[in-house]
Chain A
Amino acid sequence: MIKKIFSSNPLIMLIFSAVVLTAPIWLDPIGANYPDLLQKFAIFGIFAIGYNILFGLTGYLSFGHATFLGVGSYTAVWAFKLLSMNIVPAIILAIIVSGVFALIIGFLSLRRSGIYFSILTLAFAQMAYSLAYSVLTPITNGETGLQLSLKDPRVLDSMAGIIPQEGLPSTNLFGYLMKSYEGYFGFYFAAVILIIAFYVSLKIFRSPYGLKLRAIKSNQTRMKYTGFNTRPYLLSAFVISGMYAGLAGALLASIDPLAGAERMQWTASGEVVLMTILGGAGTLIGPLLGTTIIKYLENIFSALNPSELHNMFDFMPEPLQNFMVTIVSPFVGEGWHLTLGAMFMIIVIFLPGGVMQGLSHLSSFMKRLFGSKKDTTPDSVNDAAPTTSKGGH
């Protein structure tokens, strides 16, 4: 029954859209219902979904994807400065430019595989990062970050006769400000883009193209021996994931028109890897799950401080309370990265398949637990088999 639902694309999209669009409602009880955080879920979700097309399907571990996020952001802000405050041209331009960057970097990096590929992408990312800070300052505005200014020409806007009001203009979608409706407009826009991005990724996963990418992951040598040129497939996957990253960068910029080089740092690339593997690399919904978990925890953990911890452990006797605060406080606030690193290690060590693997373990465990009571029909056995084998690698 459940299998049938998951094999039908329109049904999945229906459920997915419903879940995403109602996020403000069902995230309310856990205190995640405010626009800033919801936007982050959606935007980094797009980033992770795109990264998953490369890493999850082909197994090529890129350590430089934040470059494309940064390139997307810079392009979008330049579009705001030169063309129009409307986000549509900015987003389209950002996708194109980051796609071109991905094409160049991918073309060079994909000549090698395995760890050489990782190091090459890392080298390119570091190169882009250092250049953005030093020589490219006229384009990137260095450490200050690229910002809007009053003197920007905005050619399209002035042609359309939109005269800027007092102060800096805001980003908008054909007149609807991204910050309107208490910021929820920005979220819903990002959510719609996320749904489209998810649909594209779903189509890729379930196409012969996706199957070929998976075949590259499982045995590239065999693919080559059968007379199959893997290079164009890898390159196109790299470019697609780069364009997703550019799209995410453009969305970040359209919500807050500011782009800085720190978005391109290699720790940022590491974060998207973590999001993907935390949820489950190579699964459809995993990366989005991972993103939500990480961004939610980041939001909670980095806001805590020792005095709030004292309130949290209020129910304990005094010495125990102090002890708990001393134990926990290095992990919160400024120390959020410590939690992130520890989580990274724990996931890789114990659950390389991520949350999705954990869920499939859980479901097969439940089936074994309750299966003995019911009649084990051949059908249910068949259902259980693929889930266990999926978690086994």
Chain B
Amino acid sequence: MDAILIQILNGLDKGGAYALIALGLTLTFGTLGIVNFAHGALFMLGAFCAVLFNKILTISVKVKDESITFFDAYKEQPYLEIWLGDLGNTIIDYSVPLSILFAIPVMWLVGVIMERGLIKYFYKRDHADQILVTFGLAIVIQEVIRHFFGANPIPMPPPDIVSGSAPIGTMLGLNDNIAYPWWRLIYLVFSLIVIFAVFAFLKFTTFGMVVRAGMADRETVELLGINVQRRFTIVFGIATVVAGLAGVMYAPILPPDYHMGMEFLVLSFVVVVVGGMGSLPGAVAAGFLLGILQSFASMNEVKSIFPGIDQIIIYLVAVVILLVRPRGLMGREGVFED
């Protein structure tokens, strides 16, 4: 029982990341009709927003280290600490959550530039061309990041106060031994908040209504005299920001390196396909489902029966789903069928 709970929890935070990336992918699929292979790179860019923000905060100056008296020693002291004292240190400590504020405008800008500068010209081209051009873009983004940040993963610590583990077992009145890292718990809550925000936006605003209508039947919406094209930029921007936020908050869980996007991209595509092309609830549900499934598959008990199952479970599920239920779990008829 305890083991099962732990595995579900383990799956949920990864599932949250899958769900967030798949959400953006589905949005761009459903409204813009674009197959975006660069979406994983956007997730990676988000994580590097956190890295960059941390770097900016800790711009330092060399000062004499007073604690060492034998010889002249120097240490790096961040400007923030000099200017703001303890408050500065606190800000640096909280750099990851704070970088959300930094990441939103940056990712929005990236998304808008990408849509206006490139994606716009590919609405009328076939899917193969879209896949190829965004694949090229993903390589370019990845290599640019590698050029500036190097090839090694950069560890990003979460704030001190949440660096430990949460005694989940005690909280739920179960076994006291069940503990779970605070940050992963925060990630889960955060991803749920973002998902609900996106859904609320689509459900309760006029703009969202048009977007949903566009996903269901673009032609009719256009015939009603609504300029769908103009809204595409905003939708693409939202998808980019969601992917970026998923990346920012994931940085303390997985130290960002330049090719983390590719790994998540392939998995997220599988998530989208399993959930059903063009279905937002499907993408979210499939994201969490596959995350949990993956963590169950990596249990030692399961691995001893099916060796290597943890590596391939997601792909296996995708293959089976595509073959027996081609529309995915919640896919609708007529969406992306040829």
A and B physically associate: yes
Select one of A123, A267, A274, A337 contacting B318, CB under 8 A: A123
Please measure, in the bound complex, the distance between the C-alpha atom of A155 and the C-alpha atom of B128, giving whole angstroms: 47
Binding site secondary structure of chain A? helix
Task: Tell me which residues across on chain A come within 8 A of B137, comparing CB atoms.
Answer: 341, 345
Report which B residues bind A (CB closer than 8 A).
35, 118, 121, 125, 127-129, 131-133, 135-140, 142-144, 146-147, 262, 266, 269-270, 273, 307-308, 311-312, 315-316, 318-319, 322-323, 326, 336, 338
Task: Tell me which residues across on chain A come within 8 A of B262, comparing CB atoms.
Answer: 266-267
* Chain B nearest Cβ from A8, distance in angstroms: 33
Flag if B147 contacts A112 (CB, 8 Å): no
Q: What residue in chain B is nearest A118 (Cβ atoms)? A: B131
Task: Tell me which residues across on chain A come within 8 A of B316, comparing CB atoms.
Answer: 127
Flag if A338 contacts B147 (CB, 8 Å): yes
Flag if B311 contacts A135 (CB, 8 Å): yes
Say if the beta carbon of A196 comes within 8 Å of chain B. no
Flag if A131 contacts B143 (CB, 8 Å): no
Report which A residues bind B (CB closer than 8 A).
59, 61, 63, 108, 111-116, 118-120, 122-124, 126-127, 130-131, 133-136, 266-267, 270, 273-274, 277, 330, 334-335, 337-338, 340-345, 348-349, 352
Q: What residue in chain A is nearest B336 (Cβ atoms)? A: A115
Task: Tell me which residues across on chain A come within 8 A of B143, comparing CB atoms.
Answer: 330, 335, 337-338, 341
Interface centre among B118, B143, B308, B323 (most CB of A within 10 A): B143
Flag if B315 contacts A126 (CB, 8 Å): yes
Flag if B311 contacts A266 (CB, 8 Å): no
Flag if A122 contacts B136 (CB, 8 Å): no
Task: Tell me which residues across on chain B come within 8 A of A335, comparing CB atoms.
Answer: 143, 146-147
Select one of A61, A126, A267, A337 contacting B131, CB under 8 A: A61
Please measure, in the bound complex, the distance between the C-alpha atom of A287 and the C-alpha atom of B237, giving whole angstroms: 37
Q: What residue in chain B is nearest A265 (Cβ atoms)? A: B262
Interface centre among A108, A126, A267 (most CB of B within 10 A): A126
Flag if B323 contacts A337 (CB, 8 Å): no
Task: Tell me which residues across on chain B come within 8 A of A337, comparing CB atoms.
Answer: 139, 142-143
Please measure, in the bound complex, the distance between the C-alpha atom of A75 and the C-alpha atom of B94, giving whole angstroms: 53
Task: Tell me which residues across on chain B come within 8 A of A340, comparing CB atoms.
Answer: 139
Flag if B312 contacts A130 (CB, 8 Å): yes
* Chain A nearest Cβ from B151, distance in angstroms: 8
* Chain A nearest Cβ from B18, distance in angstroms: 15
Q: A134-B311, A135-B308 are in contact. Are A341 and B147 (CB under 8 A)?
A: no
